[in-house]
Structure 1
């Protein structure tokens, strides 16, 4: 039978079914089949003890698998921080097998109303306390966390306080140490975010299109005061106090762009983690936002990481190659450019479990 007009929310936005099908009529069975093949997006508002969160959920995933939960960096929100990565063609193999949940930090979603003067924005610890509420709201038992910058810190804090809820962590541009040495006026926030948090020195000097687009977006944002509050909260963060005796209880992949502003901090964090459960991925030509500039390499590394956790064991890995480096924690390494090295799929033949991720990796392909 024919169905009334409806709206389906997809990754790319809102799509009217009659427009999609050019006005033709379809049966209910075909419609259900069509729905099942789509990555349906749902937007939610989740009330927490520290404020109301905007949360976006993609797909229904597999109830027996953890959800992939993301948390963005300062100056970004979930869409600008992660859409390039999660819309990437090769990432769809992962997306269709997991529920993907994007959290926008309080007041950071696109179009959010600016907080009034004098508003006390939550601390980083308090923002981490909002994550359990999201898990409870959606009835998620465990997650694989993917965080960038401030989001990486928040998910790291959450994982240390709730180890039973986290099966794996991908921490991009992590800085686990307290800083508290910058104080910037609100009208400078867009420059600070681009120059200190997001972009590498090469990107700043070159004035890349990516840099310009982020500057323009931040400077025109109606909730710029909220960004400043988030920045100040991150800048006033406490040291996570990570060491070999106080570390994560799950596999961790640290990611940073070569020559990125966060490179030294990520290296320092890597030195404090358990080398048998940690991999360190330093990406060449990635700048300060590898999830935006190198989605292909990051997707392949993420697939490898998930495979190492026992999920998607038969996943094809054909693009990412890893150059041989010397790691203080391990003598194991893999070599080279695409033309002269084994790929990740070749190094884990037949979908077998890959080697323990206790190595430094520099991606130069």
Structure 2
């Protein structure tokens, strides 16, 4: 066999060869070859041979869970769900087990569920969660990949109407309760849904939320911005701070390119207008969210102060507040490890 001595056998005893470099490098293949040859050349007695090393390594449960989670994410089931306010594009990952609450996500303006949440749910620390829970991603109307452009003058749903579409999703999949994960506009919508249907939500993760309606100064600033800035730049200023806009980071450039080249840019504009016309959530500790809430905000996010104010309005015994360093548009996207 060239570089290594073959296995020699007699009736009295077995003589194993002296190890050489190739034997050390390829023990599994060589063991298999010599054991097969030995079985074919002698039938004089049964000889039990115990391997010093297993032929196949034992499975790594962490890697198996990660692989299973990635398969679930890559093989999502897409659904078009009819609601009283119109069709919703929803993607389900997992078995649809209704005995546990599903994880329900809602993305921000200028994003869809993939660009908003894929980095988070593919992160290693999330694998066990993805493996154990059904994940349901809602795309706001017209925001999903490949969506047809709405005709000019189309009446886009308000923030309240978008929240009213969620019960139809739970009913469609027969989920009794969910754990909501929302970013920006999605965080507002999930909060609105929870206020009207508290028994349907077991917990919320609200990222970069602004629970307040735009004031007169905000309204005037928005009107001025509309006249002087493109839609893409307006949405970027919603995701990033002025310092980040000036720095023109690689992350910001990738967002700018993706939004400006979106084939459904008019649909994005309609969602943006709807978000800017939102009403105050009117939360206080006596009538606030009853479920456990985690508030997450990037330390460079434009809505840091709004998130801090939201924290002050919620029950401190059921609310946790997490400020993430070096995070803006979506704290999950650039570096979930932080």
- What interval of TM-score do these two structures reach, taking the shorter chain for normalisation? 0.7 to 0.9
1:205 paired to 2:246: yes
Q: Distance in 1 between matches of 2:227 and 2:150?
A: 16
Query: CA separation in 2, counterparts of 1:206 and 1:139?
Result: 47
Preserved contact between residue 159 and residue 274 of structure 2 (Cα < 8 Å)? yes
TM-score, normalising length: structure 1:
0.69
Aligned 8 A contact 1:194 1:215 in 2: yes
Could you tell me which residue of structure 2 aligns to residue 135 of structure 1?
170
- Provide the C-alpha distance between the structure 2 equivalents of 1:142 and 1:187, rounded to a whole number of angstroms: 42
> For residue 343 of structure 1, what is the aligned residue in structure 2?
none
- Aligned partner of 2:179 in structure 1 is 144
- C-alpha change, 1:185 and 1:50, in structure 2 (3 Å) is farther
For residues 78 and 182 of structure 2, the distance between their equivalents in structure 1, rounded to whole angstroms, comes to 19
- Distance between the aligned counterparts of 1:85 and 1:287, measured in 2? 14
Q: Which has the larger radius of gyration?
A: 2
TM superposition shift of 1:186: 11
Aligned to 1:50: 85
Gaps of 5+ in 1: 1-32, 298-365
Contact conserved, 1:186 with 1:225, CA < 8 A, in 2? no
Q: Offset of 1:62 from its aligned partner? A: 4.2
SS in 2 for 1:146: strand
Mapped contact 1:56–1:102 kept (Cα < 8 A): yes
In 1, Cα distance between equivalents of 2:97 and 2:175: 11
Q: Alignment partner for residue 294 of structure 2, among 243, 249, 253?
A: 253
* CA distance in structure 2 between the partners assigned to 1:288 and 1:110 by the alignment: 20
Structure with greater contact order relative to length (CA < 8 Å, sep ≥ 6) = 2
**How many angstroms apart in 1 are the aligned matches of 2:83 and 2:231?**
27
Asked if the contact 2:98–2:174 (Cα under 8 Å) also holds between the matched residues in 1, the reply is: no
**Counterpart for residue 153 of structure 2:** 118
Higher helix proportion (structure 1 or 2): 2
Q: Which position in structure 2 is the counterpart of 1:273?
A: 314
Paired residues, what number?
263
Q: Report what 2:195 is aligned to.
A: 160
Q: Aligned ranges for residues 57-136 of structure 1 at < 5 Å?
A: 57-60=92-95, 62-136=97-171
Displacement of 1:294 after TM fit? 2.7
Which aligned pairs between 1:182-261 and structure 2 lie closer than 5 A?
Answer: 182-183=222-223, 184=226, 188-195=230-237, 197-261=238-302
> 1:141 and 1:185 mapped to 2: Cα distance?
46
SS in 1 for 2:317: coil
Gaps of 5+ in 2: 1-63
* Whole-angstrom CA distance in 2 between matches of 1:53 and 1:204: 33
Q: Contact 1:270/1:280 (CA < 8 Å) preserved in 2?
A: yes
